[in-house]
């Protein structure tokens, strides 16, 4: 909680404080009227290239800020991206985050968004957050994560091989596909 409390960026959900009783911890958070980006994505199926680019740009700026502060989020996914009353993206849920200048060894996060170094149980740094930018860009455009598979083993294999395919629908520009292939 201390990590999120210390962060001040327009695309990071503010944690103003917290308190607890015998059974629960209560967080005092900035209000994100628009809710989870995940809900919006499920409702629309996918985002336009313009909207996807806007969200990716906001997320990139927020992650650059976090990384300057030596914070690795380690669980960037649509459920942890909230929208405020103006539709501005906010990174939330810093439960897996760590503030460190050294590489980490804990495998954590969500299956479809894991970076190859986490899948291989190797040391990792802020690059695992950068990996999710490409994953999310694909998901925003196509409505599903790029390496989603029937089993965990198959998902891991697809991540390690960067087994990327581009469905024929929805229609995505050649420029966007080239950008995704370069992530």
Enumerate the active-site residues.
Answer: 75
**Pairing status of strand 81-83 against strand 89-91:** antiparallel
93 among annotated binding-site residues: yes
130 labelled binding-site residue: no
User: What's the rounded Cα separation, in Å, for the pair 52 and 73?
Assistant: 20
Instruction: Report in angstroms the alpha-carbon separations of 34 from 13, 19, 78, 90, 138.
Output: 12, 25, 13, 10, 22
Q: Is 148 labelled as part of a ligand binding site?
A: no
SS3 at position 59: helix
**Is 126 marked as a binding-site residue?**
no
Q: Which residues are annotated as a binding site for ATP?
A: 30-32, 79-80, 93
Q: Which residues are annotated as a binding site?
A: 30-32, 79-80, 93
């Amino acid at each position: 909680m201390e990590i999120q409390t210390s962060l001040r960026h327009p695309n990071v959900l503010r944690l103003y404080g917290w308190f607890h009783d015998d059974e629960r911890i209560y967080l005092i958070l900035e209000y994100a009227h628009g809710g989870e980006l995940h809900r919006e994505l499920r409702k629309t199926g996918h985002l336009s290239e313009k909207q996807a680019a806007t969200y990716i740009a906001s997320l990139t700026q927020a992650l650059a800020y976090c990384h300057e502060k030596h914070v690795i989020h380690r669980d960037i996914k649509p459920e942890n991206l909230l929208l405020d009353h103006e539709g501005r993206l906010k990174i939330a849920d810093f439960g897996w985050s760590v503030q460190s200048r050294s590489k980490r060894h804990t495998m954590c996060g969500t299956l479809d968004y894991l970076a190859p170094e986490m899948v291989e149980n190797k040391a990792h740094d802020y690059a695992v957050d950068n990996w999710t930018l490409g994953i999310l860009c694909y998901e925003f455009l196509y409505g599903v994560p790029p390496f989603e598979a029937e089993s965990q083993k198959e998902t891991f294999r697809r991540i390690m091989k960067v087994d990327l395919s581009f469905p024929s629908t929805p229609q995505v520009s050649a420029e966007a596909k080239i950008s995704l292939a370069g992530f």
